Amino acid sequence: MIDPQILREDPEQIRASLRARGGDEAHVDKAIAADTARREAISAYEALRAEQNAFGKEVAGASGERKQELLAQVKELSARVKLASSAVDDAEREASEILGALPNIVLQGVPSGGEENFVTLTEVGDIPSFEGEIKDHLDLGEALDILDMERGAKVSGSRFYFLKGAGALMEMALMNLGMKLALDNGFTPLITPTLVKPEIMQGTGFLGEHSAEVYHLDDDDLYLTGTSEVALAGFHSDEIIDISSGPLRYAGLSTCYRREAGSYGKDTKGIIRVHQFQKLEMFSYVEPSQAEAEHEAMLSWQEQMLQSLGLSYRVIDVAAGDLGSSAARKYDIEAWIPSQGAYRELTSTSNCTTFQSRRLNVRYRADKDSGTQPVATLNGTLATTRWLVALWETHQQPDGSVAIPEALQPYMGGLSVLSSS
């Protein structure tokens, strides 16, 4: 949720953010009206409560006929207080719904526009060249007997798969390499729940425009998470946390689930776009003034991972209209996929400022004498199943084998090459 103080004092900032996102600026006026109605309802209720309290004292000091008159007035006043309390509840609910639908305010410098309006910040590594035919990751995986899409579909349906043998081992190696990097940089590892309550999913901002992507268990009213970011954001909900010694960092490992409802006909071949995958997610709670520095740090750790794996990639500043509701700025890292002759997203990192913490009520104290205030939250992926696509294709050899990057070899049980022999 956005800071209501900004809505009251600088609504133009929110309008400008919505323009950059391609959103409807009229929503700001609705939010202002709802916030005003809420505050007026609270003021009216508090005035009646004060009158009721004063009346109570007068009744206590009265006697006889006067007391009976006052008691009748007290009864009428109590009914008005009850109605005013109900009006506050209604106004609070409407304001929460309308303000909650406003996306985060984009940071200065974020490019305006939609998906195609990103800005490339850097390109790293040479585009790999190959002798002879370039095989895609599915052909490589099937030939090496490390990926089985056919049996995945037989067991679970389309966009499911089995990683097998050295393929499964390489996915685990990726997670282990990422976790080592996380540990080296002060992250606490967590194995997170993959089912969460509606208020946690709502609090992270995943039940807005992308709610169709989320699996829901109707009988239990629980959601399957598409990223451990959701559970990590909820980890400290309704808490006052101590970040006086610096950012509070977690590395969450989990299985992730996505319906891919809006991707019919896209990436139907292989494991670029699937319903279930593994992911290692960084998540930081920081003072708002440190959020942008923490964002740059997360990006540097992601780049460190990709460079250690010998992948060519570019970093893009995602346009405002493609940020999703929670992020104020997001960087995507796209790796070169040889079979497609194009960059494809492998990972991203988002600065959500105080948007999620306001919704989930995560607060901190700047010092012992001050009140509490919302903390900033950031997230970024350190490894995920999709990375296998870039790894297998980039490191394929003329004989059909795949060279294993040195950084992964300590986790591969002595293997240095994926081969069919």
Interval 70-94 mean pLDDT: 87
User: Is the separation of the CB atoms in 85 and 275 below 8 Å?
Assistant: no
Secondary element (H or E) of residue 122: strand 119-124
Q: Residue 160 carries which DSSP code?
A: -
| Residue 125 to residue 128: CA distance in whole angstroms | 9
Residue 421 clears pLDDT 90, i.e. is over it: no
DSSP per position, 264-312: TTSS-STTSS-SEEEEEEEEEEE-GGGHHHHHHHHHHHHHHHHHHTT--
* Helices then strands, each counted (H, E), the chain: 12, 18
Q: What is the pLDDT of residue 69?
A: 72
Q: What is the pLDDT of residue 60?
A: 67
| Residue 211 to residue 207: CA distance in whole angstroms | 4
What is this structure's pTM? 0.92
Q: What is the pLDDT of residue 78?
A: 85
Check for a shared fold between 4-100 and 115-418: no
pLDDT above 90 covers what percent of the chain?
A: 84
Q: What is the pLDDT of residue 212?
A: 81
| Residue 174 to residue 389: CA distance in whole angstroms | 12
Beta strands 376-384 and 276-286: pairing type?
antiparallel
Helices in 62-136 by DSSP H: which ranges? 64-100
Higher pLDDT, 78 or 335: 335
Query: Would you please indicate which residues are annotated as catalytic (active-site) residues?
Result: 258, 273, 345, 348, 386
User: Is the separation of the CB atoms in 4 and 71 below 8 Å?
Assistant: no
Comparing CA positions, the residue from 136, 144, 166, 41 lying closest to residue 337 is 136
Q: How confident is the model at residue 148 (pLDDT cuts 50, 70, 90)?
A: very high
| Residue 350 to residue 327: CA distance in whole angstroms | 6
**Burial class, 221, CB count within 10 angstroms (exposed 0-12 / middle 13-18 / buried 19+):** exposed
Domain boundaries, the chain: 4-100, 115-418
User: Helix 26-61 vs helix 11-21: angle between axes, to the nearest 10 degrees?
Assistant: 140
Q: How confident is the model at residue 63 (pLDDT cuts 50, 70, 90)?
A: low
Q: What is the pLDDT of residue 333?
A: 98
Write the CB contacts of 365 (distance below 8 Å, at least 6 apart in sequence).
240, 371, 372, 373
User: How many CB atoms are located within 10 Å of the residue 379 CB?
Assistant: 28
| Residue 114 to residue 116: CA distance in whole angstroms | 6
The radius of gyration of the chain's CA atoms, rounded to the nearest angstrom, is: 27
What are 283-292's pLDDT values in tens digits? 999 999 999 9
Render the burial of 329-363: b for 16+ CB within 10 Å, e for the rest: bbbbbbbbbbbeeebbebbbbbbbbbbbbbbbebb
The CATH class, in words, for 4-100 is mainly alpha
| Helix, strand, coil tally for the chain in percent (to 5) | 45, 20, 35
Q: What is the pLDDT of residue 261?
A: 65
Write the CB contacts of 134 (distance below 8 Å, at least 6 apart in sequence).
338, 339, 393, 396
Average pLDDT, the chain: 93
User: Is the separation of the CB atoms in 290 and 243 below 8 Å?
Assistant: no
Residue 57 clears pLDDT 80, i.e. is over it: no
User: Is the separation of the CB atoms in 256 and 277 below 8 Å?
Assistant: yes
Q: How confident is the model at residue 77 (pLDDT cuts 50, 70, 90)?
A: confident
Higher pLDDT, 63 or 366: 366
Interval 256-260 mean pLDDT: 92
User: How many CB atoms are located within 10 Å of the residue 242 CB?
Assistant: 10
The CATH class, in words, for 115-418 is alpha beta
How far is residue 262 from each of residues 118, 161, 217, 228, 278, measured CA to CA in Å? 21, 20, 20, 21, 21
What are 362-417's pLDDT values in tens digits? 999 988 788 999 999 999 999 999 999 999 999 999 999 999 999 999 999 999 99
Residue 67 clears pLDDT 80, i.e. is over it: no
